[in-house]
Amino acid sequence: MQGMPATTPQPGPPLPAAAAATSSRRAADVAVVGISLQAYATAYLLAKRGKRTVLVEHAAPQLAGVLPPARPDVALHLPAASPHAVSAATEAFALWRGIEASAEGARGLLHLCGSIDIAPVRGSSAASDALGAMQDASRAAGLQFGMLSPDEVSAAFPRLRPPKGSAALYTNAGGVVNGQLAAAVLRAMAQRAGAVLAPACLLGWRDAGGHLALRTAPLDAAAAAGAAGAGLGSEGEVVYECEQLVLLPESAVQQQSLALFGLSVQQAQLWRLPASQVGKCGMNCPSLIVS
């Protein structure tokens, strides 16, 4: 989960009097906004801990159409330049394996594969220094890996031909998460834990003093209300009164969603791998390659 900046959200569009009078009002401890994997996982964890949790899928009607038709897969590449990052990635890998093993409908969630990182020998370039940092961090974090010469890489993976004078860091730990299946599994887990999943959009929000009021409506109704004017009530409208708000939008609409709340997080992106890239080297070749 990305950390939020120390910025106080600015008040959003006020709730119109007509809408406030006709809307259904519901209380929650926490509202989670977004349909990212982090949003579903957060809703699950909060509900599991006894928090009254509602998940609102879209930060605004206009952002719903920006999302790609297919949810991208997520690469679990464990080596990194800091021990903390390696440990976090390793923990995430273990969690995904646990979800696949125990959650209903999660068969095929995780495609296991190793990774190989290739760069010039250490000390000759920025890329080689980065590979050296990954080697040090992986060792400090206890990740099992091996360093291979160009000939060893080609012998193990015939389709790869690293240049002479390069080195490779290889680990057989890692994989690719099926993004579409992961979303469905996490969503179901959150719902079973007691979270209210509202396939809705925000129409407006305000700081009500002691709590936040989030005006929501189903996607179609929200789009119609937006076209007609924000002051009109829409069919199925619900105002959620919550004590805390967690913003975890999909990466495709991340900055736009945060901007609606006066927030900005630079470079807050997930590293995702297109499904077409998974297993492109064959069964015996690692699917994740970073030069």
Q: Are 30 and 242 in contact (CB under 8 A)?
A: yes
What is the mean predicted confidence (pLDDT) over 10-31? Answer: 63
Give the span between the Cα atoms of 118 and 127, in whole angstroms.
9
For CATH 3.30.9.10, the residue range(s) in the chain are 78-173
- Of 190, 184, 188, residue with least CA distance to 44: 190
Q: 191-243: per-residue pLDDT in tens? A: 999 999 987 888 888 888 888 999 888 877 766 655 555 444 556 789 999 99
pLDDT at residue number 202: 84
pLDDT at residue number 49: 96
Question: Is pTM, for the whole model, over 0.75?
Answer: yes
Q: 135-168: per-residue pLDDT in tens? A: 999 999 999 999 999 999 999 999 999 998 899 9
pLDDT at residue number 218: 86
Which residues does residue 240 pair with via DSSP β-bridges, in sequence order? Answer: 26, 214
For CATH 3.50.50.60, the residue range(s) in the chain are 17-70+179-259
Which backbone phi and psi does 248 adopt, to 5 degrees? -140, 65
Classify the phi-psi angles of 50: left when phi > 0, otherwise alpha if psi is within -120 to 50, otherwise beta.
left
pLDDT at residue number 203: 84
Residue 22 — pLDDT band, cuts 50, 70, 90?
A: low
Candidate from 4-8, 107-111, 217-221, 253-257 with smallest mean pLDDT: 4-8
Residue 102 has pLDDT above 80, yes or no: yes
pLDDT at residue number 55: 95
Q: 163-185: per-residue pLDDT in tens? A: 988 999 999 999 999 999 999 99
As a CATH number, domain 17-70+179-259 is 3.50.50.60
Give the span between the Cα atoms of 39 and 263, in whole angstroms.
17
pLDDT at residue number 9: 42
DSSP code at position 5: P
Fold for domain 78-173? D-Amino Acid Oxidase; Chain A, domain 2 (3.30.9)
pLDDT at residue number 235: 64
